[in-house]
Amino acid sequence: MVRYINVKSRHRNEFIDITEDVANAAKEAGVKSGICYIYVPHTTAAITINEGADPSVQRDIQQALTRLIPHEYNYSHREGNADAHIKSTLVGVSHYVLVDEGKLVLGTWQSIYFCEFDGPRHRRVAMKFIASEKCIEPRK
């Protein structure tokens, strides 16, 4: 079973906090201990886990990416979003989170962000859970 979060971006470059959606999906899946697999089925978006307390961090990440990978450039791809594809590869579309005692194992400052690089668009984030208790083999 694959679970989906619907995301609606409003800007070309935008980070959208999906931590709560992922936490709710983990609760619904009933996983006590295991892995939460997050996957973006798009080629101009990505997933990152980074600071959630100060929104300026997200802006700094977005601006650094745009400084390194400018929107306007002599790209071969003619759809005007080559920069978004490149950013997607640099940030990555698959990142997991550990689950323990029914909760996502996130650091104090960590939030999970859907990274939009070619918005505004309607997007989906796919998730799957594996519970480890039934999989781990005992030592002997």
User: Where do contacts with a second copy occur on this chain (CB under 8 A)?
Assistant: 1-2, 29-35, 37, 39-43, 48-51, 54, 56-57, 59-61, 63-64, 68-69, 75-79, 82, 85-86, 88-98, 100, 105-110, 126, 128-140
Least CB distance to a second copy at residue 140 (A): 7
Pick between residue 8 and residue 59 the one whose CB is nearest to a second copy.
59
Given a contact cutoff of 8 angstroms between Cβ atoms, the answer to whether 125 and 37 are in contact is no
Least CB distance to a second copy at residue 10 (A): 19
Pick between residue 12 and residue 95 the one whose CB is nearest to a second copy.
95
Tally of residues, the chain: 140
| d(C-alpha 51, C-alpha 57), whole Å | 7
Beta-carbon contacts of residue 124 (< 8 Å; ≥ 6 apart): 4, 5, 6, 7, 41, 42
Least CB distance to a second copy at residue 5 (A): 14
| d(C-alpha 42, C-alpha 125), whole Å | 9
